[in-house]
Structure 1
Amino acid sequence: MIICTINYCTDEKYKKNKIQELIYIVTLVVIVQIVTKITGNSSLGVIVIHGILLVYGAIVFKKDPLGATIGFSIIYLFININLLICSNIFYEYIVPHIPDGYIEIGVLIFLYLPQYIMTYFVLLKRKIIYKLYRTIKSKNFSAIPLILVTVIIDFINSFNLIIHDIDNPLFKELIFLLLGIFMAILTIYFANIEKKAREITKLNNALEEKVNELKKVKHDYGAQISYLYGMHLMKKYDRLGELLKDIIDGHNNITSDVRVTDDDSVIAMIVNSIDNKGINIIVDEQADLYETGISEMELQRVISNILRNSITAIKSNGVITIKTYYGLNNIIIKIQNNGPKIEENIIDKIFEVGFSTKDDKGSNHGFGLAIVKEIIESYCGNISVSSSEKFTEFIIKLPFKN
């Protein structure tokens, strides 16, 4: 049901032919049987098989992993909701009224048979599943929430087995350990979402201020244009020329960049002293950098050198984010920009004295990042850089002062 449904829903160019589909089905059946033989009909078996099914689907349909995850999640939810309803009815209302010798027959009738019936209708009505699949995919949802929902269903079914005392006792403690790990991962995931949401909120507030500024300018210009038109009607051209010159001289201070900073931030003062050439800069300072012992002037040299390199690399409208936060034994400064990727063959050289990617290598280029590294290491800290197609990130770690 899982393989056939995913194959039916996925884009035409990713579909498997009948022979491939059969091979994948047989292979999956064998893998699941082996795992079931090892773990038994246990809560651990439920979670392990879920992981296998998820990874298997992603491997088989690796060219469309999101589609495979959506298709799998829909079917997996159907299977587990069906199981949850039927198992509760069976163990709560059927088992107490039938002899022990008929339990296995009851399992076949009340647990397995409903799954086969559901499988028949799912395969028969795949167009309905496809409509549901297409609706979810068109919403541009991430695969992660779908996976989280199916994992939650797994834990519900696992605890259902534990509650009805039909789980392997050896696996009960392990299930609680896995639940703890899952909750920790869930907490980190939503904490990252909240952090990104705060950044977006800050940027939106800054953009809103810029829009309001432009509205004021528009209103001001509207009034002045009406006045200038009056000068034109009165044919006072000399006065008109003087007024136009005053307008040009008086409104050249409107900038196109957005800076989101904290007024009492140390880094904010450094940012505001730099010509950012239209690059948007966001500062989120959560740590007191004075706790590291680095002097303000040294910090200025470090931050400004990295910022100038970032601004030069972006070359057009972009975003630079600067964050500070506490580590266990140090304070971390993270500077990220969405400029072009630094190629792997040069990324290890950027802190070397005299190394530069600029064309005029004979001038005073290639010393900024070398100075940064020297300053950081003089305070027993370290600096690293990573780069991808999405962003380049400098991470500075400075230990606390004694």
Structure 2
Amino acid sequence: MQYIDALITIFQSILFTCIVNYCLEDDKIKDNKKLILCIMLLSVDGFSITYLFGNSSVCIFVTHGLSILIVYLIFGKRMLKPIVAYSLIYSIVVIWISVFSNISYLILNNFLIHDIDILNITLVYISQIFLFVLCFLFRSKIRQIYKLLLDESNSVQYIIIISFFPDFLISLYNISDNIEPILSRNIILIALIAFIIFNVIDFRKTKKNSDEIHKLNRILTSKNTELKNIKDNYNLNILSLYELCDMNMYQDTSNLLKKIINTYQNSGNVYEKDAEGSSLLSLATKHVTRDDVKVIVSDNANFRLTTMKEMDLYRIIINIVNNAVKAMKNKGTIIAESYEDLNNIVINIANDGEKIPDNIINKIFDSGFTTKNNNNKNHGYGLSIVRELIEKHNGRIKVESNEYMTKFTIVLPINVAA
């Protein structure tokens, strides 16, 4: 039986050395003498400790610890990577042996077979040979697991710690069967308690670090959103300046530019009900800087829920607002509001300017219709284009006007896939 144990130990040493070297890929040892030396040292370690001191649990830990030291010395220049690979294949082999030996023993015991211990040991030896073949056939899968472990933070220390876990299972099994000496039993129990305490403390520390990283990620996400909003506001302000310059409204352009520079000062004539004052409606009305025009904004809709680009919607709103300012003759109040109504986004833009005559109110969305003397033909989107663009996104626009108020209503369906 000792010769068989020695032979199995040599097979295990060959498996451990080859799998570790295979996992290292570009860092693997190419000198066969070193590999043979590693196999010899692991074989001597695995057989001699057991032969001299028996199969006590302490011997299992001593053998395991010496094996890690041997692998580290042979593959030392590659630091802890070979130890991770060794711990992985060691855990696979020990767990396989432990599980198979217990299952086979239970099965044989049910059949009341004589010499059950000898037969069980024989089956365990055969199962190990089968495991060696499987490990060599599926070594690429083992290397994938090895790489996955290396990709995880703290994996090096954890895989080393976890590799001792099967040793503790075997030790507890020996203790439960009363085949462990009292001194060895006490040493194992003390080591197990220390092992558990160490892992609890270490995992708590890891959890604390994980919570801090999660907190920092939330802050980073918030800052990214804030920066995106700043970028969007910047783009819309630039577009607003361009629109004003394009319509030769240079005084308004100057006033808006001053307003952008003095971002943190109150505008004085724009009252924003939304908390941040950075909504699309607010941005589309910022250029209205006349002292006699007041703008009330209540923006409660998420325009990203529609299929229309925010830039197109911005230009539509600014077109209607500019028309409203002219209809009011630069004096009065504009009310811009948005909200979500069932499956639609609704935008209302109202002003207290002059009533649109009944004979033209049904024509203002017609192509080519205008009441302005437009020489350069470049005043942004005309109302016909506004309606065409809105209808392209399955929306609709309507206008109603009387002696007290003129109101444009835009209804856009919410994109279900958004």
Contact residue 70 and residue 137 of structure 1 kept, 8 A: no
Is 1:208 matched with 2:218? no
Counterpart among 132, 144, 149 of residue 157 in structure 2: 144
1-structure distance, mates of 2:183, 2:91: 27
Is 1:32 matched with 2:15? no
Counterpart among 196, 206, 209 of residue 209 in structure 2: 196
The 5 A counterparts of 1:2-401 are: 2-89=16-103, 91-94=105-108, 97=112, 102=115, 105-106=118-119, 108-123=121-136, 125=137, 128-138=138-148, 140-141=151-152, 142-250=155-263
2-structure distance, mates of 1:231, 1:122: 74
Contact residue 19 and residue 85 of structure 2 kept, 8 A: yes
Identity rate of aligned residues, in percent? 28
Shift of 1:76: 1.3
Contact residue 70 and residue 133 of structure 1 kept, 8 A: no
Number of the residue aligned with 2:320: none
Q: TM-score by structure 2 length?
A: 0.52
Shift of 1:91: 4.5
1-structure distance, mates of 2:141, 2:240: 61
Structure 1, unmatched stretches of 5+, are 253-402
Q: Deviations over 1:229-270 (max 9, x none)?
A: 232022233442343233124269xxxxxxxxxxxxxxxxxx
SS of 1:15's equivalent?
Answer: coil
2-structure distance, mates of 1:192, 1:115: 38
Counterpart of 1:236, as a letter, is M
Q: Deviations over 1:58-92 (max 9, x none)?
A: 22212334542343133212321222123313554
Cα distance, 1:121–1:135 mapped onto 2, change above 3 Å: closer
Counterpart of 1:227, as a letter, is S
Structure 1 vs Structure 2 CA RMSD: 2.9
Aligned residues: 247
Shift of 1:180: 0.6
Shift of 1:155: 1.4
Shift of 1:143: 2.1
Q: TM-score by structure 1 length?
A: 0.54
Shift of 1:120: 4.5
Number of the residue aligned with 1:262: none
Contact residue 71 and residue 82 of structure 2 kept, 8 A: yes
2-structure distance, mates of 1:16, 1:92: 45
Contact residue 8 and residue 15 of structure 1 kept, 8 A: no
Contact residue 41 and residue 167 of structure 1 kept, 8 A: no
Shift of 1:214: 2.4
In the TM superposition, structure 1's runs of 4+ consecutive aligned residues that sit over 6 Å from their partners are: none
Shift of 1:115: 2.1
Structure 2, unmatched stretches of 5+, are 1-14, 266-418
Shift of 1:2: 0.7
Shift of 1:11: 2.0
2-structure distance, mates of 1:78, 1:200: 32
Contact residue 49 and residue 63 of structure 2 kept, 8 A: yes
Contact residue 22 and residue 28 of structure 2 kept, 8 A: no
